[in-house]
Amino acid sequence: MFVTEETKEWLNAETSALVDFARKSRVDVGFGTLDADGGIDAAAGAQLWINCRMTHVFCLAYMRGDDSARDYAKHGIRSLLTNFRDSEYDGFFSTISLESGDPLGERGSQKEAYAHAFVLLAASSGIQAGIEGAEELFAAAKDVHEKYFWESVGLACESWDRAFTENEPYRGVNANMHTVEASLAAWEATGDLVWLGKAYSILHFVLGEAKGLGWRIPEHFDTQWNLLPDFNIDQPADPFRPYGITPGHGIEWSRLALQFWVTAQNISADQLREIQADDAWLAEIPQVAVALYDQALADGWDVDGAPGIVYTTSYTGEPVVHERMHWTVCEGIAAAAAFATYGESTGDSELVSRMNERFEELLDFALAKIIEAPGRWTHELDRNNVPSGITWPGKPDVYHAYQCLLMPIIPLTASFAQAVKR
């Protein structure tokens, strides 16, 4: 994507500010959860998905020339291998105490596909960055993924109890979305084609389901992968499993689909046959990805009297939860940049123009409503774009913001780590 030198300078400065803010999360056992003021929320403990995301970001920062980020990346990898890893039953704890390092709360010892996907992502980025322990972490995460999370249908299950004896009777697209992300990163970190096959399998199913819903991504399924349309209808603002359609996920899937397509263009016909890829399906991915993006923005952006992307909608696109999450805007920015880059490579000037406009519109919104100071991104706004905290109190995450600022200035590849490395 073409950006001006002035914009590039701001993007680089803001990524550095985000990394500086993220440093505040470091604790003895890993990375803690940051509150709205950037302090440690001790009650929240150290959460696996946050630790992995922080580790991933510090790996990217190190590869981009921030030598001081290496120590934070090493700390993250080491913490995942020692503090989060369950030496008795295998896998990684979901949440641990900042003081004792023991599993925290009722769900702290649960083994979740969502968070385990981020272990794979952190390890893959660690391998790309040359961080000590990353290869060991990847091997451990791959083993758990293959033994417990990857199912014969070509999709990931949701979660287990600590001992891997009880499998939750629910299947979620959110966990599978991040398994696609992790699989693309693992492919570029290891060259093992099995990971590209996993990404293909998940995308093939999910995009097929979305087509039947007018290019809206369904989220909740039973163990046989039958849609559960009323799941969490009484908890519509759940942070991980909200009722209905999540436009932000439609945006995220659109980018991942495009990244997969770009990757598929750069492997051999024999490799495509090995992952059993359908040529006709592959050829449609760019158009499908654009359709996902456009539908998500049509349903979610500026639909209730104020700008912003609503958190959730009904299955026909009516707003349900009107709060705006920062990550949805970040994903909108990142995907717009990805589509603009794709359009430049294919000579699609109309797409480039349209996505550049969307990029500017969403970035302007972030500057006006989300970024309160360099490195400090408000995570949730109400329907009037006033800071809120119903679903996402505090500022626990820099991953979405960091990646959306990178996308305009890196090549379009399967993973951020590979793009930065290039």
Catalytic positions, written as ranges: 249, 400
DSSP 149: I
Structure tokens belonging to residue 134: 């990353």
Long-range CB pairs of 262-269, under 8 A, 24+ apart, other chains included: 262/342, 262/412, 262/413, 262/414, 263/184, 263/187, 263/188, 263/196, 263/413, 263/414, 264/196, 264/200, 267/193, 267/196
d(CA 42, CA 98): 7
Number of H helices, E strands in the chain: 14, 13
Measured between alpha carbons, how far is residue 86 from residues 60, 80, 105, 110, 182 in Å? 27, 10, 16, 11, 21
**Apex 177 CA angle, 175 and 183, nearest 5:** 100
Structure tokens belonging to residue 378: 């408000």
E strand residue ranges, 241-283: none
Place of tokens 């349309």: 229
Q: How would you classify residue 4: left for phi > 0, otherwise alpha for psi between -120 and 50, otherwise beta?
A: beta
72 phi and psi angles, rounded to 5 deg: -70, -40
